[in-house]
């Protein structure tokens, strides 16, 4: 069941009941026919035989390969579209579970740190490698045959395998999601809180270093080591995430969105946006409002 909330984006009411640990649906279909949507549950989606289709997850637009395995966090916009997919049957397996199925008291244990990290990253959408997808394919497909407690154990085993998988790709920018992200360093968390609160303003490296209580040069190295990105790249990623969300959720002009997201002129905004997403803001907005996907 779907409810229209944002133009072109639907709120899905999933079949998951409060008494369920998770639900799983397995479908053979000719086309992708679900609208762009979101829901409050976690979702693990396996798609076979849909090469050439396009995927939207948050602020990300991508091309589907022979096998697609994506983990999506609560309230993150997502859907798949036919685009250049060749005719044929698509196999789709979708697992949905409550965001409190594995509570904070459970996930904070040392042995589950990788699982907690994966759930945190799912707020941006995670695309797993072809090798990882192939490795868990049978377990996912056969999960529907498990019963009661065995099914829960099997799901936990699948999630554990995915949490330690290499070569994952985070799909959407952190600024697109409304949820806060957790980091292993309190200093990094404080800096990100500052960036989220001030992304629309000019931000100097020295300001962030002061938040972290570190010398500027030391902070620059520390930040890149902990996040994998430079400070400037991180700011731009947050700004583009917020801009993507505004393009979807508001009728603001592109120039106003650029200004509200900290870009000093629309030309810089367009260049940064296209460099990140391979399309300009106008095309990105059309993707959400018309179902057309530009790459």
Report the predicted TM-score, pTM, of the whole model to 2 decimal places: 0.88
pLDDT digit string (tens) for the chain, length 295 residues: 555 555 567 888 899 999 999 999 999 999 998 888 999 999 999 999 999 999 999 999 899 999 999 999 999 999 999 888 988 999 999 999 999 998 888 888 888 999 999 999 999 999 999 999 999 999 999 999 998 899 999 999 999 999 999 999 999 998 887 666 666 678 898 999 999 999 999 999 999 999 999 999 999 999 999 888 999 999 999 999 999 999 988 999 999 999 999 998 999 999 999 999 989 999 999 877 665 444 4
Q: Can you tell me the distance from the alpha carbon of 243 to that of 252, in angstroms, rounded to the nearest whole number?
A: 10
Q: Can you tell me the distance from the alpha carbon of 30 to that of 33, in angstroms, rounded to the nearest whole number?
A: 9
Q: Which two tokens stand for residue 284?
A: 């990105």
Q: Which two tokens stand for residue 287?
A: 């993707």
Burial (CB < 10 A; 0-12, 13-18, 19+), residue 158, is: middle
Find the largest Cα–Cα distance for the chain.
59
H or E segment and range at residue 126: strand 126-127
Q: Among residues 257, 281, 259, 261, which one has the least CA distance to residue 271? A: 281
């Amino acid at each position: 069941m779907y409810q229209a909330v944002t133009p072109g984006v639907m709120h899905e009411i999933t079949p998951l009941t409060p008494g369920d640990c998770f639900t799983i649906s397995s479908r053979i279909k000719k086309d992708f026919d679900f609208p762009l949507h979101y829901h409050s549950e976690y979702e693990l989606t396996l798609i076979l035989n849909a090469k050439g289709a396009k995927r939207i997850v948050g602020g990300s637009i991508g091309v589907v390969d022979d096998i697609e395995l994506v983990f999506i966090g609560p309230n993150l916009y997502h859907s798949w579209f036919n685009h250049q997919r060749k005719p044929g049957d698509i196999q789709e397996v979708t697992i949905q579970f409550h965001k409190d199925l594995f509570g904070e008291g459970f996930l904070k244990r040392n042995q589950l740190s990788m699982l907690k990290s994966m759930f945190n990253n799912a707020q941006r959408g995670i695309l797993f490698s072809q090798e990882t997808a192939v490795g868990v394919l049978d377990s996912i497909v056969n999960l529907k045959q498990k019963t009661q407690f065995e099914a829960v154990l099997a799901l936990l085993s699948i999630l554990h395998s995915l949490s330690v998988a290499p070569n994952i790709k985070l799909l959407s920018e952190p600024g697109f999601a409304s949820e806060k992200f957790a980091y292993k360093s309190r200093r990094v968390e404080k800096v990100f809180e500052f960036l989220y609160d001030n992304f629309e303003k000019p931000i100097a490296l020295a300001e962030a270093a002061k938040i972290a209580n570190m010398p500027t040069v030391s902070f620059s190295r520390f930040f890149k080591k902990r996040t994998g990105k430079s400070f400037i790249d991180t700011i731009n990623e947050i700004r583009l995430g917020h801009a993507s969300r505004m393009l979807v959720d508001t009728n603001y002009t592109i120039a106003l969105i650029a200004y509200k997201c900290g870009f000093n002129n629309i030309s810089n905004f367009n260049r940064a946006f296209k460099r990140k997403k391979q399309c300009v803001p106008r095309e990105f907005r059309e993707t959400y409002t018309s179902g057309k996907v530009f790459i």
